[in-house]
Structure formats: C-alpha cells, structure tokens
C-alpha cells in the first residue's frame, strides 16, 4: 500500500496582527500553535497605543517567532498623548522591536483629527528615519495627503515603509512603489468584491509584496465574519499566488524574502516558530 505523501506547508510570515487584543485572551498559545501548523512561523504583533506597549512587548518576549512594533494608530491620535520621536527611538532598543507604527491617516472615521494625525505621522516618519526600522502605514480615505507626506519625508531622508492592509487607490499604490515601499496583502484581497484591490496588487512587482492578517479583523473566506488569526495568512497567500500567477511555494518564498529585506532586524534575529513535523 502506498502511503499518502505528507507535505509541509510553505513558510509564511504574518507581517501585521494584533495579538494583544481581547479577542485572543486566554488562548494565545493555541492561536500561535495553529499558525505554526499552517506554516506561519513569524508574526509581527502591532501596538496601536503606546500605553499598551508593555503588554505587547511581553507577548513578543514570551512567544518564539513573535516580534512587535509600536506607535499611535491614527484613529487614536485624538485620545492619546502625542508621541515623541524620542519615545519611539527608545522602544527600538528592544531586540524584538522591529517596526515603527502603525501610524498614518484615517479620514473615513476620524477626519476631525486630521491635523493631529498629520503631526503624528511626521513624528513616526522621523523615528523611522532615525532608527532605520520600517514605517508601518495605515491609510484610509486620505490618499492625497498620504502621498504628499510620505513623499515629503523621503525628500528629507530616505526610510523603509510598508503600506499595511493596502486597499487604497492605484495612484497611492504606484506612489508607494515609486518611493521604494512595500504593499501588504490582507484578507481584503480575498473578498469576492475586491477585484479592484487584486488588480492593483497584480500591477505591483512581486518583490514588493508582504502578507498579513490584521487579525482579529478581516478574516478571509471561509472564515469571513468570524475572528481572524495569524494562521489564516496562509489563505491570503494562496490568493496572492493566484493574483501573481505563481505557485504557492514561489509566492511564499518571495514574500519571505521581501519581509527579510524590509524587516531586516527580525531577519537578523533569526527566531522562528516550529513548522509541523
């Protein structure tokens, strides 16, 4: 009798998740174990309010293959003390702190704080310039201002950057690519009505693409409408492979190389979770 071939899933990195959110309370060990079983051996958990940084840091310190970033989310700027460059630079000393943000502009829900958001974004850009760590950008309904501020910053001093959970328009996508930035594909790209988003990704170079969940939000099918988790970035990667017309193994390998290039500190750290035997 011929036994079925056992295949190991391709290795994937969930470049953006929120493991400190209450949605994962009490089962984080199981969530991370399921991610590893799906081939997701590295995760970057994002702190969106600096007052929560100690708990996010603790998650990264406790779990193998989990790194973290911190900043003030644009939707929280009006409720939080304005961050300083010194605050962010100090956090960057931690060996598992690998990115600045998420920061950015959100005029969909919080347009009333637009000026404060712009100030905060410029502070985060300066921290990325000083540390060399990648800036992690949230952009919603603010494409024109986002392009202008990101371009303004690059003229002052170059910095690395990823447009997280990219779902903006083609002009901002092209501007980001022209600036040398990366676009991150989330569960949004897997939704049936997201053909425009998939078309935008298809025009980008494969060597500028990352994969993420933004969990606990934006679960891809067949989990849509339920809690997202890092394991499901493997489902988004399968759709990404289809968008770029390559095998899942080749797409996973490309996004791994892209992550290592952008998040060089995480790559140099070398830590990963365990793939299934």
Q: Are 183 and 198 in contact (CB under 8 A)?
A: no
What's the whole-model pTM score? 0.96
Residue 3 has pLDDT above 50, yes or no: no
User: Is residue 164 annotated as involved in ligand binding?
Assistant: yes
Q: What is the distance between the alpha carbons of residues 176 and 8, in angstroms, rounded to a whole number?
A: 34
User: Is residue 269 annotated as involved in ligand binding?
Assistant: no
User: Is residue 73 annotated as involved in ligand binding?
Assistant: no
Reported as a pLDDT band with limits 50, 70 and 90, residue 271 is very high
Reported as a pLDDT band with limits 50, 70 and 90, residue 274 is confident
Residue 1 has pLDDT above 70, yes or no: no
Average pLDDT, stretch 120-136?
98
pLDDT tens, residue by residue, 171-225: 999 999 999 999 999 999 999 999 999 999 999 999 999 999 999 999 999 999 9
Average pLDDT, stretch 25-39?
96
Spatial strand order in the sheet of 40-47? 12-17, 40-47, 66-70, 97-106, 135-140, 161-163, 182-185, 209-211
User: Is residue 16 annotated as involved in ligand binding?
Assistant: yes
Average pLDDT, stretch 107-126?
98
Mean pLDDT (the chain, rounded): 96
Quote the percentage of the chain above a pLDDT of 90: 96
Sequence ranges of the domains in the chain: 12-268
Average pLDDT, stretch 243-271?
97
Q: What is the distance between the alpha carbons of residues 221 and 232, in angstroms, rounded to a whole number?
A: 9
The CA angle 10-134-109, to the nearest 5 degrees, is 95
CA 2 to chain CA centroid, nearest Å: 42
User: Is residue 124 annotated as involved in ligand binding?
Assistant: no
Residue 59 structure tokens: 């998650």
Domain 12-268: CATH superfamily, name plus number = Metal-dependent hydrolases (3.20.20.140)
Is the sign of the CA dihedral 116, 122, 126, 127 positive or negative?
positive
DSSP count for the chain of H helices, then E strands: 10, 8
Is the sign of the CA dihedral 118, 159, 17, 81 positive or negative?
negative
């Amino acid at each position: 009798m011929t036994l079925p071939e056992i295949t190991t899933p391709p290795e994937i990195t969930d470049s953006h998740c929120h493991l400190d959110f209450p949605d994962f309370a009490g089962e984080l060990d199981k969530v991370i174990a399921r991610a590893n079983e799906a081939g997701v051996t590295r995760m970057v958990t994002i702190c969106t309010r600096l007052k929560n940084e100690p708990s996010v840091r603790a998650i990264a310190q406790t779990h193998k293959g989990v790194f973290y970033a911190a900043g003030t989310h644009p939707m929280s700027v009006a409720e939080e003390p304005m961050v300083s460059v010194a605050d962010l630079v100090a956090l960057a000393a931690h060996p598992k702190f690998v990115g600045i943000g998420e920061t950015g502009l959100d005029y969909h829900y919080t347009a009333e704080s637009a000026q404060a958001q712009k100030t905060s974004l410029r502070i985060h850009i300066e921290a990325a310039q000083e540390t060399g760590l990648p800036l992690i950008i949230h952009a919603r309904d603010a494409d024109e201002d986002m392009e202008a501020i990101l371009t303004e910053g690059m003229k002052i001093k170059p910095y690395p950057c990823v447009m997280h959970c990219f779902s903006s328009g083609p002009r901002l996508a092209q501007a980001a690519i022209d600036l040398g930035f990366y676009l991150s594909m989330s569960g949004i790209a897997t939704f049936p009505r997201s053909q425009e988003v998939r078309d935008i990704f298809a025009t980008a170079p494969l060597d500028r693409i990352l994969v993420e969940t933004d969990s606990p939000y934006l679960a891809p099918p067949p989990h849509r409408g339920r809690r997202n988790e890092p394991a499901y970035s493997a489902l988004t990667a399968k759709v990404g492979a289809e968008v770029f017309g390559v095998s899942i193994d080749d797409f996973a390998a490309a996004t791994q190389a892209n992550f290592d290039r952008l998040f060089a500190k995480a790559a140099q750290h070398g830590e990963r979770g365990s793939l299934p035997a």
